[in-house]
């Protein structure tokens, strides 16, 4: 991928027809750069997409919900392990089930929705960002997105976060274009909001509406805003697309509104003990690490960049997303993802402005361009850190580091070589080639890092155990003790009995299941009665629990194992 020249001297004279030829050449160069960016994004988002098992717990859970939709033909009420699961709206499940229908039930199809959403986010950031900031800044913003570890990593993870981020990016940028140009941008904005609501609930509409209110309030333009943004028609679009699913599920499942609206939103936001409680500043290190090496340029934002409403809008959106999710008690790293495209546009604007104005900053002790040079230094530091981690790995008690040991020096070497090359290029004052080297180095490191996901599959996915069970016990009754691996139903294509008093996310569904007592035995006595009765049963259990229950289980044999979890059958029973 190439980053376009960031500065050029104006011609002193031009013959007739020269402007048309120059414009044609510029358009061709921009098209080539955009195509190179697209190929880079395709490589980063799709390389090894289906080469490793679904990670626990989210990927395996969401894939199984989509598989059960397709297998059972019930596309209204999502089911997990064949009981209702309504913590999330259905759009991600619908798209994943559609992928399963056309591509087969496999890991690639399971992850294609977030990968395509990430690609859409990059395309929208470049295409609409081009209208707001121009080609140079939009191209760099899209490149920042592709090479930011947080964005690139989540592009290959089956969760709702990347789908939500892509739809919100469309809504955010279409809002601004509607404010600036009018026309019919509002239609795309409300369609994106409606689909965002079907992806993750009311937050899909709340974020664009809140950010839009702040923007027009600060500009003193509240009067007439409802008409300018076609609020009545927009509300009808969102309601017509999003509300029917909520209404149908509420009619079918008593308690849905309390569980979903009160529990999954108000309690998750305001009750610290409900889910994922983290400190207020949790997302600051997430942003700094998740946007490396580009986050080293964040100090440029207050001082560099084009001053105007487009920059103001991006800053309001990014600040609002970070502030609102920081204020909520429940925090997870991917929640902050909708802020990343706006931060990428702001960073690109600041970086290009600093390069264009560097002559004016030459007298400063610390010129803004020093932060751009530092991106190469960050790559070098990352290379040194990877090699140091390799050297220290025998002394660290970390399974991931030990498994990834052979990849660390390769990644470290790539980062060091690319970082040194970009530093040398920056020092010579060649910023466009230097940025291209930064993008190329980060891309290469990410592609190599995808091999690491294959290496650590057995640490983060129960796919190996589940595949063995599917092959060795194709018709056995499967019983999970205490905490079931989410991947087991997906890979074995069958319902699992969960023997545990702790049902976690399955509690609501179990309470609405007519066969709860059969598939959710809560005590050891119920488990043992089931085990004794069903001689074809396979028990999936941790080693410590197996030792404790061994005298009551009787003679068993191990048919599959992974880590400390074993799958045991009755001694002497056929597979």
pLDDT of residue 294: 97
Which range, of 271-280, 285-294, 406-415, averages the lowest pLDDT?
271-280
Number of domains in the chain: 2
Does residue 366 or residue 13 have the better pLDDT? 366
Rounded-to-integer distance, Cα 120 and Cα 117, Å: 5
pLDDT of residue 261: 75
Residue 563 lies in a domain: yes
pLDDT of residue 160: 96
Residue 206 lies in a domain: yes
Residue at which a domain ends, from 267, 296, 324: 324
Residue at which a domain ends, from 300, 324, 348: 324
Q: Which residues contact 338 (CB under 8 A, 6 or more apart)?
A: 164, 165, 168, 169, 207, 321
Write the pLDDT tens digit of every residue in 65-87.
999 999 999 999 999 999 999 98
User: Stretch 491-510: mean pLDDT, rounded?
Assistant: 89
pLDDT of residue 258: 79
pLDDT at 274 over 60: no
Residue 338 lies in a domain: no
Rounded-to-integer distance, Cα 117 and Cα 286, Å: 21
Q: Which DSSP letter does residue 330 get?
A: B
Does residue 351 or residue 275 have the better pLDDT? 351
Provide the pLDDT confidence category of residue 11 given band limits of 50, 70 and 90.
very low
Provide the pLDDT confidence category of residue 110 given band limits of 50, 70 and 90.
very high
User: Stretch 346-361: mean pLDDT, rounded?
Assistant: 86
Q: Which domain holds residue 501?
A: 463-570
- Same domain membership, residue 467 and residue 320: no
Does residue 412 or residue 306 have the better pLDDT? 412
Tell how far CA 553 is from the center of its chain.
43
Write the pLDDT tens digit of every residue in 123-149.
999 998 898 899 999 999 999 999 999
Write the pLDDT tens digit of every residue in 430-451.
999 999 999 999 999 999 999 9
Provide the pLDDT confidence category of residue 10 given band limits of 50, 70 and 90.
very low
Provide the pLDDT confidence category of residue 506 given band limits of 50, 70 and 90.
confident
Residues 269, 275, 279, 285, Cα dihedral to 10°: -100
Question: Considering the entire predicted model, what is its pTM?
Answer: 0.91
pLDDT at 455 over 70: yes
Residue 306 lies in a domain: no
Residue 535 lies in a domain: yes
The three-state secondary structure class of 371 is helix
pLDDT of residue 361: 62
562 DSSP β-pair partners: 565
Q: Which residue's entry shows tokens 């927009």?
A: 234
Write the pLDDT tens digit of every residue in 182-230.
889 999 999 999 999 999 999 999 999 999 999 999 999 999 899 999 9
The three-state secondary structure class of 11 is coil
The three-state secondary structure class of 368 is coil
Write the pLDDT tens digit of every residue in 511-569.
888 888 889 998 999 999 999 999 999 999 999 999 999 999 999 999 999 989 999 99
Provide the pLDDT confidence category of residue 365 given band limits of 50, 70 and 90.
low
Provide the pLDDT confidence category of residue 574 given band limits of 50, 70 and 90.
low
Provide the pLDDT confidence category of residue 409 given band limits of 50, 70 and 90.
very high
Write the pLDDT tens digit of every residue in 299-343.
999 888 888 899 999 999 999 999 999 988 778 999 999 999 999
CB 485 within 8 A of CB 60: yes
The three-state secondary structure class of 478 is strand
pLDDT of residue 189: 96
pLDDT of residue 7: 42
Write the pLDDT tens digit of every residue in 458-483.
999 999 999 999 999 999 999 999 88
Residue 345 lies in a domain: no
pLDDT of residue 269: 54
Q: What is the DSSP string of 266-309?
A: IIHHH-TTTS-B--GGGHHHHHHHHTTTGGGGGGGTTTSS--SH
- On average, the pLDDT of the chain sits at 89
Rounded-to-integer distance, Cα 150 and Cα 110, Å: 20
Write the pLDDT tens digit of every residue in 29-63.
888 888 999 999 999 999 999 999 999 989 999 99
Of 215, 169, 212, the closest CA to residue 188 belongs to 169
Residue 496 lies in a domain: yes
Rounded-to-integer distance, Cα 437 and Cα 418, Å: 7
Residues 3, 369, 285, 394, Cα dihedral to 10°: 80
Residue 438 lies in a domain: no
Provide the pLDDT confidence category of residue 254 given band limits of 50, 70 and 90.
confident
pLDDT of residue 4: 47
Provide the pLDDT confidence category of residue 8 given band limits of 50, 70 and 90.
very low
Tell how far CA 534 is from the center of its chain.
42
User: Stretch 94-110: mean pLDDT, rounded?
Assistant: 97
pLDDT at 174 over 70: yes
Q: Which DSSP letter does residue 477 get?
A: P
């Amino acid at each position: 991928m190439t980053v376009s020249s960031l500065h050029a001297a104006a011609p002193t004279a031009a013959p007739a027809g020269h402007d048309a030829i120059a414009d044609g050449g510029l358009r061709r160069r921009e098209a080539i750069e955009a195509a190179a960016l697209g190929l880079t994004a395709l490589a980063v988002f799709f390389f090894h997409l289906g080469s490793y098992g679904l990670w626990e717990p989210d990927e395996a859970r969401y894939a199984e919900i989509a598989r059960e939709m397709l297998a059972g033909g019930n596309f209204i009420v999502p089911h997990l392990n064949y009981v209702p699961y309504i913590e999330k709206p259905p759009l991600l499940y619908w798209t994943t089930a559609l992928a399963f229908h056309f591509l087969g039930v496999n890991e690639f199809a399971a992850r294609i929705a977030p990968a395509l959403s990430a690609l859409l986010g990059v395309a929208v950031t470049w295409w609409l960002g081009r209208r707001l900031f121009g080609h140079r800044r939009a191209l760099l913003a899209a490149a920042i997105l592709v090479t930011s570890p947080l964005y690139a990593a989540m592009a290959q993870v089956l969760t709702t976060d990347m789908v939500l981020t892509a739809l919100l990016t469309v809504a955010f940028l279409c809002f601004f274009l509607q404010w600036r140009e009018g026309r019919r941008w509002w239609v795309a904005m409300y369609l994106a909001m409606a689909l965002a609501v079907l992806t993750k609930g009311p937050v899909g509409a709340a974020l664009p509406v809140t950010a839009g209110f702040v923007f027009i309030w600060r500009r003193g333009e509240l009067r007439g805003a409802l008409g300018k943004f076609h609020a009545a028609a927009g509300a009808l679009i969102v309601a017509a697309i999003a509300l029917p699913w909520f209404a149908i599920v509420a009619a079918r499942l008593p308690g849905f509104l309390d569980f979903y609206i009160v529990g999954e939103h108000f309690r998750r936001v305001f009750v610290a003990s409900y889910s994922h409680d983290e400190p207020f500043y949790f997302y600051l290190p997430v942003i700094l690490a998740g946007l490396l090496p580009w986050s080293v340029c964040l100090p440029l934002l207050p001082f560099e960049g084009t001053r105007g409403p487009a920059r103001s809008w991006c800053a309001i959106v990014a600040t609002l997303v970070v502030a609102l999710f920081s204020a909520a008690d429940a925090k997870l790293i991917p929640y902050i993802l909708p802020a990343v495209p706006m931060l990428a546009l702001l960073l690109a604007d600041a970086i290009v402005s600093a390069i264009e104005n560097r002559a004016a900053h030459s007298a400063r002790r610390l010129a803004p361009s020093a932060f751009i040079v530092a991106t190469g230094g960050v790559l070098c530091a990352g290379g040194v850190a990877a090699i140091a981690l390799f050297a220290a790995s025998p002394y660290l008690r970390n399974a991931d580091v030990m498994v990834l040991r052979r990849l660390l020096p390769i990644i470290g070497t790539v980062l060091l070589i690319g970082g040194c090359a970009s530093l040398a290029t920056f020092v010579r004052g060649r910023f466009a080639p230097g940025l291209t080297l930064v993008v190329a180095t980060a891309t290469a490191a990410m592609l190599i890092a995808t091999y690491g996901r294959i290496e650590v599959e057995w640490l983060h996915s129960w796919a190996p155990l589940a595949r063995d069970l599917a092959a060795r016990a194709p018709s056995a009754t499967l019983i999970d003790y205490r905490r079931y691996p989410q991947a087991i139903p997906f890979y074995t294509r069958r319902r699992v009995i969960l023997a545990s008093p702790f049902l976690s996310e399955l509690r609501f569904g179990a309470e609405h299941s007519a066969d709860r007592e059969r598939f959710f035995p809560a005590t050891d006595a119920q488990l043992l009665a089931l085990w004794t009765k069903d001689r074809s049963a396979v028990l999936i259990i941790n080693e410590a629990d197996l030792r404790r229950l061994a005298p009551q289980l009787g003679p068993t044999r191990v048919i599959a194992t992974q880590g400390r979890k074993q799958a045991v059958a009755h001694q002497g029973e056929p597979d």
